[in-house]
Amino acid sequence: MGKRITIDPITRIEGHLRIDCEVDGGKVTKAWASGQMWRGVEKILLGHDARDAWTITQRICGVCTTVHAIASVRAVENALNMEIPLNAQYIRNLIITAHAIHDHIVHFYHLSALDWVDVTSALKGDPAKTAQLAESLSTWKGNSIHEFEQVKTRLGAFVGTGQLGIFTNGYWGHPAMKLSPEVNLLATAHYLQALDIQRKANKIVTVLGSKTPHIQNLAVGGVANPIALDSQSVLTVERLMAIKGWIDELADFVKNVYLVDVSAIGAFYSDWTKYGAGITDYLSVPDLPLDTKGTQFALPGGYIKGGDLASHHAIKAFGDPYFRDGVEESVKHSWYKGGKGALHPYKGETDPEYTDFEDNGKYSWVKSPTFYSRPAQVGPLARVLNMVAADHAPTKKYLQTVLDTVGSLAKTTIPVSALHSTIGRHAARAVSCAVQVDELDHQWSLLMANIAKGDTATFNKPVFPKGEVSGVGFHEAPRGVLSHWVVIKDGKIKNYQAVVPTTWNAAPRNESDTPGPYEAALLNNPVADPEKPLEVLRTVHSFDPCLACAVHVLDPESNEVVTVKVL
């Protein structure tokens, strides 16, 4: 039996995740992913007016707020078979796309790049050589010698104090770090620039959503953004032009910095295309609706089985029976009462039953979703592969750009199959971000054109029937497929379940004892030093975990549900 290592908590993520691995012969032979926190939004929602659900569900997380609000209103609208005004669709599309771009930039530079970039090595980098390298790769304005000299000075000031400030925690000098000092200096400079550029995306969400996090402008039936061309107190052309300026700044950074950096780091770490594939069934959903009914979308979605793009099965509309009927969740290895097998979300239950960490029993607060009884990987890689399979031209263009750049730097040919890997997930996220930043501009143009036609409608009033109705709302969130499922009786919520991206990816073993995507992806990962398991973090971080979204349950009467003893 190999050495057991436990990483608890995994840092640079949202929420509390524990990873256990058995390491033998320098590689992972067995893994467990465990959500170590719980919450109770589904229980809190019971009995509430269905129109209030979106305001409550976005409190699931402090980061992924917008996505839960969107999925929630879509679930209620699906239950009521509602149409949404075009302006409302476009405004929602702008908000969720800006949020996604923000998430992608922050994830790569601030949450996961430090697994690949040795910040302390950057102090040895030559600014002139770094600028020469950077200018050979892109025309980005922040790639001057002066910029790199300033970054090196700031970094030296951190070290001079005896601390590394925001770079304090990292496996600096780890033998798995491969980049030259100049590439490390380049990446560190872009890390700092990304801190500023991510604000531009958040400004768009703030203006259109009235605030962020926790936007205030949604409503079942549309949005609460009055449109008028002659009032300063509503959504005016002046505000929309400010948004256009931020879109242009984001596009410049994503195409000239983010795509290039991911390609360069991918080339230096091309050996990581051999690790981290795991589950190769890929699920995504279509998003950015272009009509009032949610039957036409700017971005396609679907399901791929076994990594075979030819097996792509399209998901075509909100409420598509193929998606609606395929999702189930198991609690066989989760800390909930069970014994009923995997349940469809309309019949889902979240009654806690904590035991302890049991390798072969229950060991997580995360449930285990399946699609037609099989685990599925969700996220940017699933999104990009499904869009390629659907012959989505912008996705194919940006993917080919990344593969060509990596191949040129690594002096080899990189096939699409290389994406089934840890480093491939980063490449797919960058491709997805480039597609989305173009789509952000497109949605802005669609909104402006529709307003120019004289259409200022943003809301259709919902009407709740007597009796019971049910609906599912889905959204292709930055981390992947997010779906909210609601059963409504006489306008009040009878049952509510959220099946979120990290629930899919961080799932424990399912009803058939099949490992979840994190667990499968970690198998055969190299581990050079079990005391510093950097390679494990690389693969886990590549999924962008958000455990606050992934878990369940709280007692609405504030009684103690369970006691967890921390050892």
How is the beta sheet containing 301-304 ordered, strand by strand? Answer: 282-284, 301-304, 313-315
- Whether omega for the bond prior to residue 300 falls within 30 degrees of 0, making it cis, is no
Q: Distance between CA 377 and CA 283 in Å, rounded? A: 6
Q: Is 546 annotated as a binding residue?
A: yes
Q: Distance between CA 123 and CA 120 in Å, rounded? A: 6
Q: Is 21 annotated as a binding residue?
A: no
Q: Distance between CA 434 and CA 424 in Å, rounded? A: 15
For residue 64, give the amino acid letter: C
In sequence order, what DSSP letters do the residues of 291-359 get, joined into one string?
SSSS--EEE-EEEESTT-GGG-EEE-STT-HHHHTTEEEE-TTBSB---S-SB-GGG----B------T
Task: Check: CB of residue 57 under 8 Å from CB of residue 485.
Answer: no
- Whether omega for the bond prior to residue 213 falls within 30 degrees of 0, making it cis, is yes
Nearest to 95 by CA among 128, 54, 127: 54
Angle, helices 393-410 vs 422-452, to 10°: value is 140
| Largest Cα span, the chain | 73
DSSP assigned state of 273 = G
In angstroms, what is the C-alpha Rg of the chain? 23
Q: Is 42 annotated as a binding residue?
A: yes
Token representation of residue 412: 């080899």
DSSP assigned state of 254 = I
328 backbone dihedrals φ, ψ, rounded to 5°: -140, 160
Task: Check: CB of residue 64 under 8 Å from CB of residue 39.
Answer: no
How is the beta sheet containing 17-24 ordered, strand by strand? Answer: 3-7, 17-24, 27-35
What 3-state class would DSSP assign to 394?
helix
- The counts of H helices and E strands in the chain are 17, 15
Return the exposure string of 199-226: e unless at least 16 CB atoms fall within 10 Å of the residue's CB, then b: ebbbbbbbbbbeebbbbebbbbbbbebe
Beta bridge mates, 329? 343, 369
Q: Distance between CA 210 and CA 203 in Å, rounded? A: 10
Q: Is 312 annotated as a binding residue?
A: no
Residues contributing to the annotated binding site: 42, 61, 64, 546, 549, 552
Residues contributing to the annotated binding site for Ni(2+): 61, 64, 546
Residues contributing to the annotated binding site for Fe cation: 64, 549
Residues contributing to the annotated binding site for Mg(2+): 42, 552
